[in-house]
Amino acid sequence: MAGLSDVTKTKLAADFGAAMGGSNTTLQDTSKSWRVNQWNAGFLLELVKAQTGVSYFTQITANTADTLTFAPLASNIAAAPGDVYFIRESGSPASARIIRWGREVSPTWVHAVEQVAPGALTALVTQAVTAGMIGYIYGFFISVGEGNDFLINWTSATVAYTRRLVFGAGGTVEAIDQVAINDGLPADAGTNITITNVNVGGAGIIYQACLLYAEV
């Protein structure tokens, strides 16, 4: 459990430990001697993957003396030896946020004004990541009067990343997900997250974009 602060270990935690095995729906810790179904009502599991340090959250549905059973984790994620876990009460506002967004955050919309015929790679909306924090993108809104490609841009561990959104024709798209678009690749402090249009906007065509953003 090296590298995790004492505050992180105990914050909202009813119990915690290190996994000795498991799967996409189970976690075993043979050092425990829980009461059967001690954690099956009102508790959630936070699993911190040893290799990446990324946390995943899910609702506990049952337990034996040493094994937790829970709703399936994110695709291709399974409990494995060495992973750290926390059992957290799910009745608090903080836990409700964890269940909703995968971490204790309350994303907010970053709004931007309309732009007419923007040049290629114009920043339609920009969010600066606060010093000492890391940023997560939970959604976007794009409205455009013509077909174009758009890029969601950010920097993680000094490496530039993009996600391309292709509009075959004009229209409006709004997308929100409890798993951040850049989950596992948080935006670096002091850098900007932007949405840009790839091609030059047509004469008189209006563009607008917004970001659903949170930082920790």
The band of 11, judged by pLDDT with boundaries at 50, 70 and 90, is: low
Q: Which of 7-21, 27-41, 114-128, 180-194 has the lowest mean pLDDT?
A: 7-21
Residue 4: what pLDDT? 42
The string of DSSP letters for 124-161 reads EEEEEPPTT--EEEEEEEEEESS-EEEEEEEEETTEEE
Q: What is the CATH number of domain 108-215?
A: 2.60.120.1380
| pLDDT tens readout for residues 180-199 | 999 989 999 999 999 999 99
pTM over 0.85: no
What CATH number does domain 6-101 carry, 1.10.3470, 2.40.30, 1.10.1200, 2.40.128?
A: 2.40.30
Sorted by where each begins, the domain ranges of the chain are 6-101, 108-215
Instruction: Show the tokens assigned to 28.
Output: 């075993």
The band of 13, judged by pLDDT with boundaries at 50, 70 and 90, is: confident
- CB 168 within 8 Å of CB 140: no
